[in-house]
């Protein structure tokens, strides 16, 4: 398997993991959560939305895409855990 194909597969798997975290939410809520995650990443790293590889895929190298996809997954997991904690407290 080529290196590029492996990278696309891995990014797809990471995106699937992120979506599975929010499987209980409606598609609109998932989209809102993903937008919030993107906003958190941009503010945390002082980036523009155009710097995110999933919004502007042809202008970034593989390492940047991998780092940002993993960061998106981490922020998504934090959001998920915070929501779970809020649900269990109430």
Q: Going residue by residue through the chain, which has 90 residues, state the pLDDT in tens, using 9 for 90 and above.
A: 555 544 554 557 777 887 787 888 888 988 898 899 999 999 999 999 888 888 888 887 888 888 998 999 999 989 888 888 887 755
Contact yes or no for 40/75 (Cβ under 8 A): yes
pTM for this entry: 0.74
Residue 30: closest CA among 22, 38, 42, 40:
22
Determine the pLDDT at residue 9.
47
């Amino acid at each position: 398997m080529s290196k590029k194909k492996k990278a696309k597969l891995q990014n797809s798997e990471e995106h699937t993991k992120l979506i599975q975290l929010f499987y209980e939410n409606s598609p609109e809520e998932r989209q809102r959560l993903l937008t919030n995650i993107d906003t958190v990443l941009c503010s945390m790293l002082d980036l523009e939305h155009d710097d995110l590889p999933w919004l502007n895929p042809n202008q970034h190298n593989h390492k940047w895409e991998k780092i940002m996809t993993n960061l998106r997954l981490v922020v998504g997991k934090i959001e998920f855990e915070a929501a779970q904690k809020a649900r269990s407290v109430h």
